[in-house]
Amino acid sequence: MRLLSGNCGFPAAGAALAIVTALALAGCDNTGTGAGRNTAGGPVLTGPGAPTRVESPLPGEIGASPPALSVPATPPVPVVNPPPAAAPSVQLTPPPEIANQIRVAILLPLSGPQAALGRAVLDSAMLALFDVANSDFALLPFDTAGTAEGAAIAAEDAVAANVKLVVGPVFSDAVAAAAPVTLRAEINMLAFSNNRGVAEPGVFLSGLLPESQLARVIDYAARHGVRRIGALIPTGPFGARALDAARLAAGAVGIEVVRSREFGPSSPEIAAAVRLISNYDERRAALLAQKKALQGLENEVSKRALNRLSILDTFGPVPFDGLIVAASGAELVNVAAQLSNYDIDTKRVRLLGLSSWAVEGTGREPALIGSWFAAPPAAFSREFNRNFQAMYETTPHGLGRAAYDLVALAAILGSQEDGPKFDRATLSSETGFAGVGGLFRFLPDGLSQRSLEVREVTPGGAKTVEPARSTFESLPN
């Protein structure tokens, strides 16, 4: 990783990945980095070439009671002895490599039902440690056990270990439980969650927000002819959040969400939602009425019109020319299969989706061909995947890019000559940071923005139709 730009003069640190990952920094005033109790933490992972760190043991107890003395029968001649010399003071001095160590915690579910996820994310974090960190940087993993209670305990342990920054936790309930602990200690947190409800100053979310994805793809759609949008959204908080984001994004570019329907997880519920949003029953009734009106006519024009109607299922267009489908995986395939059943022609209606569509096999569903969605830049992701595969002989977890970028960012900010730069002003730099997940920046309120590209689904995979921005200069912070 190297410095992209900025006014701090930050040097590059550590060995570089095969790809060139960059950080851009602004706002370098250090307004406080937090402090903790100087006690032992969890296992310590350090950068390449670092000497082994061994904490000096505490000395044994000083000043134990002397053995008891017997009293002789004849008192001895009193002897005046000089007062005993004062016991020498003991001062503990940690080895230089410990004294200069910059400690950063990473909170992950390393046990419990989510342990496999936690270990996979830690693998990506360790890759960044080896690629970027110098010998003074130490990454301390703490186990949240995948629970809110475990996250709070892990945060307490991290504070006690004298860390200066916390990366993680993963889940929003864990973030909510750990945040009060770190904030009391004046330690900032870079969490993996994308639940904006747990963001606040000092608790920065790195997760890819649905608001960013929908704003990006709706902006692109509006500039390419889409004027009226429908929205198929799952029941629950995420669906409500996606619909609010879609309406806000559409209004910002002068178009409108004209129709929306929620769908449940079962196939019948999905079918019912597609049927309603497409006005299928009304359009079907309109077709039958047209046929009935023409059947009594014997002229050639009417006969030809009736013949054309015989191949249709409905009469008249759907009420939108763009359709947001806030679904992924099996749900997305199920929705796509229902579209043709209710006469939504995806050659006329552009489907708009989320970054979760950037998986192998999306183009195998014919109804999804030609769809647009927003996602982090594919080029950096492919390079990261290759490096991860070379190291671990497996593919990275979906959170791997975020884990790599956050630990690499911590290593760079922790390597400055005048001390680590983990203050909020630096972390929320307007210029942002560029990593394997693309350009991103944290906002003062704890939310984040990412520069996303727009991709189109093709039979052979998604292709980029509009690249990601290379700067945040024209966007408000």
What is the chain's pLDDT, residue by residue, as a tens digit (477 residues)?
322 223 333 333 333 333 233 443 333 333 333 333 333 344 566 554 333 322 323 223 323 333 322 223 333 333 334 444 444 444 444 455 555 789 999 999 999 999 999 999 999 999 999 999 998 999 999 999 999 999 999 999 999 999 999 999 999 999 999 999 999 999 999 999 999 999 999 999 999 999 999 999 999 999 999 999 999 999 999 999 999 999 999 999 999 999 999 999 999 999 999 999 999 988 888 767 666 666 767 777 666 766 665 656 676 789 999 999 999 999 999 999 999 899 999 999 999 999 999 988 888 899 999 999 999 998 888 889 999 999 999 999 999 999 999 999 999 999 887 889 999 999 999 999 999 999 999 999 999 999 999 999 999 889 999 999 988 876 655
Residue 453 — φ and ψ, nearest 5°? -100, 160
Helices (H), 22-171: 96-99, 115-132, 148-160
Neighbours of 99 (CB within 10 A): 9
Looking at CATH, the fold of the domain delimited by 210-279+318-374 is given as Rossmann fold (3.40.50)
The C-alpha atoms of residue 204 and residue 189 are separated, in whole angstroms, by 6
Delimit the domains of the chain by residue range.
2-47+97-208+378-446, 210-279+318-374
The answer to whether 449 and 440 are in contact (CB under 8 A) is yes
Give the pLDDT score at 284: 83
CA distances from 36 to 41, 45, 104 (A): 11, 19, 12
2-47+97-208+378-446 and 210-279+318-374 in the same fold: yes
The C-alpha atoms of residue 145 and residue 108 are separated, in whole angstroms, by 8
Give the pLDDT score at 234: 97
- The pair of structure tokens assigned to 55 is 């904490």
Give the pLDDT score at 285: 84
- The pair of structure tokens assigned to 83 is 């007062």
- The pair of structure tokens assigned to 477 is 């912070």
Give the pLDDT score at 455: 97
Give the pLDDT score at 462: 92
The C-alpha atoms of residue 226 and residue 425 are separated, in whole angstroms, by 39
User: Kind of pairing, strands 189-191 and 45-46?
Assistant: unpaired
Instruction: Say which DSSP state 313 is in.
Output: S
Instruction: Say which DSSP state 263 is in.
Output: E
Give the pLDDT score at 320: 96
Neighbours of 17 (CB within 10 A): 19
Give the pLDDT score at 383: 86
From first CA to last CA, the distance across the chain in angstroms is 24
| 2-47+97-208+378-446 CATH pick, 3.40.50.11290, 2.60.40.420, 3.40.50.2300, 2.30.42.10 | 3.40.50.2300
Give the pLDDT score at 84: 46
Give the pLDDT score at 30: 35
Q: What global pTM score does this model have?
A: 0.76
